[in-house]
Amino acid sequence: MKKIFWNKKYALKIAKKEKIKIKKIHWKIIFFTRNFYLKFHIIPSIRILLTAINKTYKKKLNSVDLINLFPKNPAIKISKIAGIPNPKKCI
pLDDT of residue 88: 74
Q: What pTM did the predictor assign?
A: 0.87
To the query of whether residue 65 is one of the catalytic residues in this protein, the response is: no
Q: State the CB neighbour count (10 A cutoff) for residue 76.
A: 16
pLDDT of residue 87: 83
Instruction: Please name the CATH architecture into which domain 8-82 falls.
Output: Orthogonal Bundle (1.10)
Give average pLDDT by consecutive 10-residue segment, the chain, 91 residues. Answer: 77 97 96 94 92 88 94 94 83 46
Ranges of each domain in the chain: 8-82
pLDDT of residue 5: 84
Q: State the CB neighbour count (10 A cutoff) for residue 48.
A: 15
Q: How far is it, in rounded angstroms, from Cα 16 to Cα 64?
A: 21
Cβ-based neighbours of 83, under 8 Å, separated by 6 or more: 4, 6, 10, 11, 14, 34
Choose, from 25, 52, 76, 90, the residue flagged as catalytic: 90
